[in-house]
Amino acid sequence: MSEAGLLKIYIIANKDNELNRYNNIIKQLNDFNITNYEVIDSIWGTEITEDIRKEYAKSDYSMRFHGRNMVDKPLSNGEISLFLNHIKCLESIKMNFDKGNFLILESDALFTKNFKIDLQKIIDNASFINDWDIINIGAGQQKYMKSLGYPKTKEIVINDTNFYKENINRCSEALIWNYSSVKKFLSYFNLKKDIDGPIDTKLDVFSSTGNFNIYWCNPEIVYQGSIFNVYDSHLR
């Protein structure tokens, strides 16, 4: 059953290791009477063994591509686990659905006061865009992106939502996917199964091929608690 234009919302949260975040995001969803969500059985950074690193982090470095500063450093266990948790959400979508739109939220997502209404508006307005693969509804790294001159494309104004077609993500705390884009990205990832960067930069790289379109929306309706100093980051 569709709710707020979405067949399901997936939550990446680990109740055992981040109870405060878990409780807060569940409370936010309940406050908005959103029921079509699932908390995935997420992998925690301490569960990333050397065998998992060898299987997935083959390059054992993290490159920040495109507009981001280029950084060559080992991937943290938190970055690897978060990437695998996003993949777990996408695989669940592919297995259990054959169409529709979906939202993946990370545990530090903080909703704006009109979240549910605005989410429905974004979904409705995005229906007039025929080539979107991801709609980034979060404000993660907002200041940093502005310092790099983003957004660099002219806004597409549809009713009361501004969309920007970019080849880079702001972060990955709140991403809307459609079923086609889920299959497309999984096919791309499964070719090598190489985690050579965080999930957001891997999406940047795929977008640079011209086969995967990332849109930003404005106003943003989710803030990333670990960037806005509400939570400590788990990625370091």
Per the DSSP assignment, residues forming a β-bridge with 104 are 10, 175
Locate the domains of the chain by residue range: 8-224
What six digits make up the tokens of 78? Answer: 């938190």
Q: How many CB atoms lie within 10 A of CB 77?
A: 21
Alpha carbon distance 19, 14 (integer Å): 7
The single-letter code of the amino acid at 67 is: G
What six digits make up the tokens of 126? Answer: 């995005």
Options 3.30.70, 3.40.50, 3.90.550, 1.10.3470; CATH of 8-224: 3.90.550
Q: What angle do CA 183, 116, 6 make, to 5 degrees?
A: 25
Q: Do 80 and 53 form a contact (C-beta atoms < 8 A)? A: yes
pLDDT of residue 230: 62
Q: Do 86 and 12 form a contact (C-beta atoms < 8 A)? A: yes
213 to each of 22, 83, 227, how far by Cα in Å?
30, 19, 25
Q: What angle do CA 175, 183, 57 make, to 5 degrees?
A: 75
Alpha carbon distance 146, 140 (integer Å): 11
pLDDT of residue 106: 95
Helix (H) or strand (E) holding 218, with range, is: strand 214-218
Per-residue pLDDT tens digits of the chain, which is 236 residues long: 567 789 999 999 999 999 999 999 999 999 999 999 999 989 999 999 999 988 988 765 555 544 445 556 778 899 999 999 999 999 999 999 999 999 999 999 999 999 999 999 999 999 999 999 999 999 876 666 666 677 778 889 999 899 999 888 888 999 999 999 999 999 999 998 989 888 998 998 899 889 999 999 988 999 988 765 566 666 54
What six digits make up the tokens of 147? Answer: 């310092």
